Amino acid sequence: MEKTALVTGASSGIGTATARALARLGYDLVITGRRTDRLQKLNDELEREYGVKVHVLGFDIRDRFQTEGALSALPDRFREVDLLVNNAGLASGFEHLDEGDPHDWERMIDTNVKGLLYVTRVVSGWMIRRGKGGHIVNLGSIAGTQAYENGAVYCASKHAVHALSQGMRMDFLSHGIKVTEIRPGMVDTEFSTVRFHGDKKRAAEVYRGVEPLTGDDIAGIVAWVVSLPPHVNINDIEVMPLQQANAYMTFRKQ
Ligand code: NDP
Ligand code: 8X3
């Protein structure tokens, strides 16, 4: 049976790996992000390697009108979304709150919270009108249940994702839509480079002496949760590298 997934933030990291894992399972895909050059390359790779149909959607998820406009312009066939992966997100800045830059705060809240809401409202509406259930996988974080120093606003945004995941699960229950939240610790992607505004040296320091998770590790979990029998839903998964105990304690090898 044909299945379609929409993955936000597919131009990098966890999103790219998830799109690949889903294509491997035979999903047709809508892949989104701002860097459409990367998305186009991924489109070509997935169609060539897995024989699935892919549609690229370029939009800035922070902009509600751009987001709704891009989604509403999707060909009908790609609106039959069985699986939505709300992955697009970022951290921006790392300092005490009194020294924080409000532009960073807006970037995080607008992307991680409001952007996720804009996409979910449209796509869940499609799922409900179609009446065939569906599955929404939200990329939360260990920061969604543990706040840490210098990360208050990012942590607040991921606490919001945690609350939204629980709320969605209730709101969509009668429509047979599964909601799964995946809450990773350290994953080696562009995440830290983005957080430190392009400072790759500082980003590399985050993973010093640690074998972090990879985008493929998280994609494997997505592939597993979406492959379970129809009556089984995984609500919430927290996953970390072996060398990480929680948001505060990491065992680094010299
Ligand atoms: P990356 O920086 O590698 O990827 C982030 C993705 O989000 C990119 O594809 C980017 O696309 C997209 N994105 C960011 N801002 C926007 C925007 N305004 N509009 C549209 N798309 C946007 O990071 P990860 O893969 O690590 O992050 C994916 C998710 O996983 C995030 O929600 C993150 O919070 C979460 N996470 C990451 C962890 C980690 O340690 N890496 C741990 C826990 C959770 P583009 O720039 O092309 O728009
Ligand atoms: C990303 C993981 O620990 O930097 O969400 O918050 S952490």
Residue 248 maps to a domain: no
Catalytic-residue membership of 118: no
Residue 246 maps to a domain: no
Domain that residue 30 falls in: 4-239
User: Of the residues 27, 154, 207, 248, which is catalytic?
Assistant: 154
Residue 231 pLDDT greater than 80, yes or no: yes
Decide: 61 and 115 in contact? Cβ < 8 Å.
yes
pLDDT confidence bin for 254, thresholds 50/70/90: confident
> Ligand 1 in contact with 144 (CB < 6 A)?
no
Q: Rounded to whole angstroms, how far apart are CA atoms 94 and 153?
A: 9
Q: Residue 206 Cα, ligand 2 centroid: separation in angstroms?
A: 10
Q: Rounded to whole angstroms, how far apart are CA atoms 168 and 69?
A: 23
Decide: 210 and 167 in contact? Cβ < 8 Å.
no
pLDDT reported for residue 53: 98
> Ligand 1 in contact with 37 (CB < 6 A)?
no
Q: What is the mean pLDDT of residues 215-231?
A: 98
3-class state of residue 184 by DSSP: strand
Residue 214 maps to a domain: yes
186 CA closest ligand 1 atom index:
40
Ligand nearest to the CA of 222: 1
Ligand nearest to the CA of 90: 1
Q: Residue 141 Cα, ligand 2 centroid: separation in angstroms?
A: 6
Q: Any residues with Cβ below 6 Å from ligand 2, and which?
A: 141-143, 185, 247
> Ligand 1 in contact with 31 (CB < 6 A)?
no
Q: Rounded to whole angstroms, how far apart are CA atoms 244 and 226?
A: 26
Q: Residue 4 Cα, ligand 1 centroid: separation in angstroms?
A: 21
User: Mean pLDDT across the chain, nearest whole number?
Assistant: 98
Instruction: Summarize pLDDT for 175-189 with one digit per residue, the tens.
Output: 999 999 999 999 999
Residue 148 maps to a domain: yes
Residue 253 maps to a domain: no
Please tell me what DSSP assigns to residue 239. E
154 CA closest ligand 2 atom index:
6
Residue 247 maps to a domain: no
Decide: 128 and 175 in contact? Cβ < 8 Å.
yes
Residue 250 maps to a domain: no
> Ligand 1 in contact with 93 (CB < 6 A)?
no
| CATH code for the domain of 173 | 3.40.50.720
Q: What is the mean pLDDT of residues 192-206?
A: 98
Residue 240 pLDDT greater than 80, yes or no: yes
Instruction: Summarize pLDDT for 1-54 with one digit per residue, the tens.
Output: 799 999 999 999 999 999 999 999 999 999 999 999 999 999 999 999 999 999
Residue 147 phi/psi, 5-degree rounding, is -90, 145
Angle between helices 13-24 and 36-50 (to 10 degrees): 20
Residue 202 pLDDT greater than 90, yes or no: yes
Q: Which residue's alpha carbon is at the smallest distance from atom 31 of ligand 1?
A: 89
For the chain, the first-to-last Cα distance in angstroms comes to 50
Taking the complete model, does pTM exceed 0.80, yes or no?
A: yes
pLDDT reported for residue 95: 98
185 CA closest ligand 2 atom index:
2
Q: Rounded to whole angstroms, how far apart are CA atoms 71 and 53?
A: 17
- Specify the number of domains making up the chain: 1
